[in-house]
Amino acid sequence: MSNVNEEMGKAMDMIMKVSKMVVRGVMPFYLLTFLPLHAQRMDDVAVHSKYIQAVDEYRPAPGQYVNDVPEYEVGDSEQDMIRKCTERLANNERSLVALGGWGGYITFHFDHSIANIPGQRDFAVWGNAYQEMRNLVFGGMNEAGVVMVSKDVNGNGKPDDPWYEISGSCDVDSIGKVTYGYEVTYCKNPMGDIPWTDNQGNSGTIDRNHYHTQEYYPQWLEDGLTFKGTRLPDNMLNLSEKVDAGFSPYYFVLVGFRYGYADNLPNYTDNADATSYNYEGCGIDISWAVDEQRQPVNLDFIDFVRVYTGLNQKCPQPEWWGETSTEIQGAEDIHLDASLQAIRDAITGIPSVVLNQPLSVYDLQGRKVQNPSRGLYINKGKKYFIK
């Protein structure tokens, strides 16, 4: 029968096999590994955060909030702008970052891998979507961002691994109206409307308005930015005739999609209750990830999340709304404890099981134990971690 030291030795072997698993943060990886499981659990809760740790990439498309949210200052490099995004989003800071028109994106990570817990949404992305005031449609200020996920397969802590898109509700609700393999290229036009062309033979402009007087093309990026991805179906409705002209001469709304996007549905289920987080509407299930052929992929963990603006449309009244632009306010692991437990399980190769029935198992010294409490045991020749 194994003893605890042998168990730890085997665990170390497993670590080499799963070295792809990234556990970032203040606790060194080796320390996390050698701590007794109970102590790890205590430390994990104290050390790890469910919120974004840092932003890795920020390449917005042109837009009325670009160079302003966050602010570009003369001489800023791409790294400076990424740092400004981190300052706005990490640790639940909850300031906004704007992604500009279609295709503009941001990439961020947490201080641990997020586990794909079966049957559950795994992380939530917070934006600034809201229900329109007159309750005429579902949603109303929906600027859906497409969400992508990636696992740090090469273990270098950088988002240079395969990416998978989250298949949101448009894939089932709007069949034939979603454009896959879409591309848009934007060109500089200093202090003017920003021209774009797409790979479907269309062209247009991101128009200036008098509310936002700064340059709309991301100042720190090269001319001729090209973005690739999925274009969601236009969702803007003109409901101007449905409202009193004294209230507003225009009333355009952006109808919400059911699930699977960022900045799509409100952060709260009850606007009067700041604790009513909308994990259902803003939550993402890693099991929704698909490959380039839109076939489901089976991911046990993800290390990076990317969000890009999924709509290419603008309001015909630019003083009401301009281009549709996804905004991000933060993100969180919906089940921090479960993610940390899944990481430990993967490191040790020991699955966590919840045994509800009173039964007898063997401890690691081979002694029979009745009604085992939390810990490592042997049962029918298999190792079990009982939660």
> Which H/E stretch holds residue 6?
helix 4-17
Is 198 near Ca ion (CB under 5 A)?
no
- Based on the number of CB atoms within 10 Å of its own CB, is 207 exposed (0-12), middle (13-18) or buried (19 or more)? middle
Give 264 or 376: the residue with its C-beta nearer to Ca ion. 264
Give 198 or 303: the residue with its C-beta nearer to Ca ion. 303
Among 152, 165, 198, 323, binds Ca ion (CB under 5 A): 152
Is 333 near Ca ion (CB under 5 A)?
no
Scanning 1-9, 94-102, 228-236, 319-327 for contacts with Ca ion by CB under 5 A, the matching segment is 319-327
End-to-end CA distance of the chain: 22
Among 263, 323, 332, 333, binds Ca ion (CB under 5 A): 263
Nearest to 102 by CA among 329, 328, 323: 323
Is 323 near Ca ion (CB under 5 A)?
no
Residue 235, CB-side half-sphere exposure with 13 Å CA sphere = 27
Give 129 or 225: the residue with its C-beta nearer to Ca ion. 129
Give 64 or 86: the residue with its C-beta nearer to Ca ion. 64
Nearest to 235 by CA among 252, 251, 255: 255
Q: Closest separation between CB of residue 130 and Ca ion, Å?
A: 9
- 3-class DSSP state of 15: helix
> Which H/E stretch holds residue 344?
helix 336-348
Among 19, 154, 213, 360, binds Ca ion (CB under 5 A): 154
Scanning 109-117, 175-183, 359-367, 376-384 for contacts with Ca ion by CB under 5 A, the matching segment is 109-117
Is 223 near Ca ion (CB under 5 A)?
no
Rounded CA gap, 30 and 41, in Å?
15
Is 327 near Ca ion (CB under 5 A)?
yes
Q: Closest separation between CB of residue 152 and Ca ion, Å?
A: 4
Contact 346/119 with Cβ under 8 angstroms?
Answer: no
> Which H/E stretch holds residue 170?
helix 170-173
Is 57 near Ca ion (CB under 5 A)?
no
- Based on the number of CB atoms within 10 Å of its own CB, is 81 exposed (0-12), middle (13-18) or buried (19 or more)? buried
Is 171 near Ca ion (CB under 5 A)?
no
Among 128, 197, 240, 317, binds Ca ion (CB under 5 A): 128
Rounded CA gap, 308 and 107, in Å?
9
Site string for Ca ion, 279-318 (x = CB under 5 A): ------xxx-------------------------------
Give 117 or 376: the residue with its C-beta nearer to Ca ion. 117
Rounded CA gap, 368 and 387, in Å?
18
Give 154 or 360: the residue with its C-beta nearer to Ca ion. 154
Is 143 near Ca ion (CB under 5 A)?
yes
Scanning 23-31, 228-236, 260-268, 377-385 for contacts with Ca ion by CB under 5 A, the matching segment is 260-268
Identity of residue 6: E
Nearest residue to the partner Ca ion, using Cβ: 143
Q: Output the six-digit token pair for 143.
A: 């600027």
Do β-strands 179-186 and 194-198 pair in parallel, antiparallel, or remain unpaired?
A: antiparallel
- 3-class DSSP state of 91: helix
Q: Closest separation between CB of residue 145 and Ca ion, Å?
A: 9
Is 156 near Ca ion (CB under 5 A)?
yes
- What interhelical angle do 336-348 and 37-47 show, nearest 10? 140
Scanning 90-98, 223-231, 255-263, 379-387 for contacts with Ca ion by CB under 5 A, the matching segment is 255-263
Give 98 or 361: the residue with its C-beta nearer to Ca ion. 98
Is 160 near Ca ion (CB under 5 A)?
yes
Do β-strands 105-115 and 301-309 pair in parallel, antiparallel, or remain unpaired?
A: antiparallel
Q: Which residues contribute to the site for Ca ion (CB under 5 A)? A: 116-117, 120, 122, 128, 143, 152, 154, 156, 158, 160-161, 263, 285-287, 327
